[in-house]
Structure 1
Amino acid sequence: MTVPVVLASQLAVNPLDAQSLLVAFGVLGVGAVLFAETGLLIGFFLPGDSLLFTAGLLCTGGGQHGVRLSLGPLLVAAVFGALAGAQCGYLIGRRAGGALLARSRSRRLHDGARRAEELLARYGHAKAIVLARFVPVVRTVLNPLAGALGVPARTFAVWQVAGGLVWSAGLILAGYALGSSIPNVDRYLLPLVALIVVLSLLPLAAELYRGRGGRGRGRADEVPR
């Protein structure tokens, strides 16, 4: 009777809810979700930021349903999923070009592709690859887009590893630190997750602001005196 109950709970999982995914699949689910979100275009809707933060929180035993994850295995699974997924997405982009993206009818996915192209054009390969890790949807489409646009393999590998380590391990450790310092922090999980999503957009917002400031100064310099 136990096996059917477990299977039923996994089939009933909500793929948009981080805690539901963690309750159903645990540490291995984190690696699988990050691989799909960063390597496969079909994974653009998955909750990468909130999943990592919530998983770190659950390492302290501060979640519902009595779920507690182990920090070491969680970090390994998350880092592996994030890095392997990005590399897989890049290889798919090199071989399939933009064909897969062109076939998609998702407006959100195409908006993400447009933003990813803007990042690559405005900030160059290294900075764009790192920044994309912190922007939902963009981190899904930038990897195959980088492959399709011919970003050098070594450049992509170095900077996707750097960005992937900071993003995956950083959010997990942030959740773990907060859960360790605040009793019953799971009561505030929803607003905390919303805050994490907002914070994840700050690096991109800062770069966009700097970029606009630079263009404004450039136009001012062109005014004849």
Structure 2
Amino acid sequence: MTVDIMKQGELISDSDLVNFNTNNSKSGRPALTKAGFVILGVSGACFFGVYAVATPFLLPALRRICLPFVPATANQVTNVFSALRGRSGTLIDIGSGDGRIVIEAAKRGFQASGVELNSWLVWYSQWTAYRQGFTTKATFFRKDLWKTNMSPYRNVVIFGVEQMMEPLERKLDMELPPDGVVVACRFPFPTWQPSVVVGSGVDTVWLYRRSHIHL
């Protein structure tokens, strides 16, 4: 015998109720609509997009010595090249960020390189160098600065943080060529004696000559 039930103005048979309850008991949840699939897909794509972009910027914070990306100011760039006046040859910027030091060095005749761990910043720097016509004079590569050999470079630039200066001093002491110089920005080296100091406050840069650092 079929029993009809009135609900919201419609007749629902007991066979319809059985089918409805059976389908829901099998799935355990309401069926996902086409719009739901679209929203879920877009949300997933946004999440992974943000993850892919943000991860290279957040990973340095998880390292023992964090070197965050803080762009050099115009005064700092000017002071770096004031300290390097009269110098030439190869130059490397350790933690080259958006590439502004390297590209400026290329404009001034250096054969300049930048080492940077953030792949997005490396790509951006390469694109900027290409756009400005300095691809042969300004090169960028993704690598850990602690695993980069500094001996091929006569000029080294570092915008460092305080906790990295002592271990970096030891590394450069072993690898810097005899005629090499280092320009430190924002923080000086702990034991080396600078040959030149330019600027003041956060714009101060210190130039160290390999032949004079232990005087």
TM-score norm. by structure 2 comes to: 0.27
Q: Which has the larger radius of gyration?
A: 2
**Which structure carries more relative contact order (alpha carbon 8 Å, separation 6+)?**
1
TM-score normalised according to structure 1 size: 0.26
